[in-house]
Structure 1
Amino acid sequence: MTDEREQRQQRERRQEPRREYRTEELAGKAGITVRTLRFYRERKLLPPPRREGRLAWYDDHHLARLRTIAALLERGHTLTGIAELADALDHGRDVADLLGVGGPTEEEPVRLTPEELAARFEGQVTTENLAAALDLGYLGTDGDEIVHISRRLLDVSAALVREGIPLAEVLAAATRVRAHADALADLFTTLVLRHTDETTLPRLRPLAAGVVAAELSLALDRRLRQRLDDGQSS
Structure 2
Amino acid sequence: MVTPEKPLSDGEDVDGELTVDQLAARVGVTVRNLRAYSARGLLPPPRMVGRTGYYGREHVARLLLVREMLAEGYSLAMIERTLASAPANASSTTLALHRALLAPWLPPEPETMTGAEIAARAGVPEDSSLVDRLPELGLVERLGDGVLRVLDPALLAAGLQVVRLGIPPDSLIDAQTRVNEHVREIAQTYVQMFVRTGWQAFVDAGAPRDQLDTMRDTVARLQPAAAQAVLAAFRTEMAAAVGAALETALSRLEEE
The two structures, once aligned, show a CA RMSD in angstroms of: 2.9
Query: What's the CA shift for 1:201?
Result: 3.4
Tell me the SS of whatever aligns to 2:141: strand
Query: What's the CA shift for 1:157?
Result: 1.4
Contact 2:159 2:172 in 1 (8 A): yes
Aligned to 1:208: 226
Aligned to 1:134: 135
Aligned to 1:222: 240
Once residues 129 and 231 of structure 2 are traced to their aligned partners in structure 1, the CA distance between those partners, rounded to angstroms, is 31
> Closer, same or farther in 2 for the Cα pair 1:131/1:101, shift >3 Å?
farther
> Closer, same or farther in 2 for the Cα pair 1:160/1:135, shift >3 Å?
same
What 5-or-longer segments of structure 1 have no aligned partner?
A: 1-5, 11-95
Contact 1:189 1:201 in 2 (8 A): no
Aligned length: 140
Contact 2:115 2:126 in 1 (8 A): no
Aligned to 2:167: 165
RCO greater where, 1 or 2, for CA within 8 Å and sep 6 or more?
Answer: 1
What 5-or-longer segments of structure 2 have no aligned partner?
A: 1-32, 38-76, 84-101, 201-214
1:179 to 2:181 alignment: yes
Once residues 142 and 249 of structure 2 are traced to their aligned partners in structure 1, the CA distance between those partners, rounded to angstroms, is 47
Query: What's the CA shift for 1:130?
Result: 1.6
Amino acid at match of 1:161: V
> Closer, same or farther in 2 for the Cα pair 1:193/1:163, shift >3 Å?
same
Tell me the SS of whatever aligns to 2:112: strand
Identity, in percent, stands at 26
Tell me the SS of whatever aligns to 1:197: helix
> Closer, same or farther in 2 for the Cα pair 1:114/1:132, shift >3 Å?
closer
Aligned to 1:87: none
Contact 2:122 2:161 in 1 (8 A): no
1:195 to 2:197 alignment: yes
Once residues 135 and 227 of structure 1 are traced to their aligned partners in structure 2, the CA distance between those partners, rounded to angstroms, is 29
Aligned to 1:120: 121
Amino acid at match of 2:128: T
> Closer, same or farther in 2 for the Cα pair 1:202/1:172, shift >3 Å?
same
Contact 1:124 1:167 in 2 (8 A): no
> Closer, same or farther in 2 for the Cα pair 1:211/1:227, shift >3 Å?
same
Give the TM-score of the pair, scaled to structure 1: 0.51
Amino acid at match of 1:156: A
Tell me the SS of whatever aligns to 1:165: coil
Tell me the SS of whatever aligns to 2:148: strand
